[in-house]
Amino acid sequence: MINGMEQRDRLITVQELADYLGVPVATLYQWRYRREGPPGFRVGRHLRYRWSEVEAWIERQLAGADR
């Protein structure tokens, strides 16, 4: 079982993030190119996202929607 801290530090794949957000994988790559989406990084040739960074990005999106 993954505890809370391990879950926050978990790395997720592009497919996992796309499924979670309900967007196509291509959208994530477009956001990355335009620097609009959650920050991701390369692990070798694979793109990964840190779950805590995804959560922070979502919070920023929600805060911006309140304006």
CATH classification at residue 23: 1.10.10.10
pLDDT of residue 1: 40
pLDDT for 2 beyond 60:
no
Query: Please, what is the angle between helix 14-21 and helix 25-34, to 10°?
Result: 100
Q: What's the whole-model pTM score?
A: 0.81
Domain that includes residue 41, residue range: 4-65
pLDDT digits (tens, 9 = 90+) for 3-36: 655 666 789 999 999 999 999 999 999 999 999 9
φ and ψ at residue 18, rounded to 5 degrees: -60, -45
Any idea what the Cα angle at residue 30 is, between residues 28 and 34, rounded to 5°? 115
Total structural domains within the chain: 1
Instruction: Give the span between the Cα atoms of 36 and 38, in whole angstroms.
Output: 7
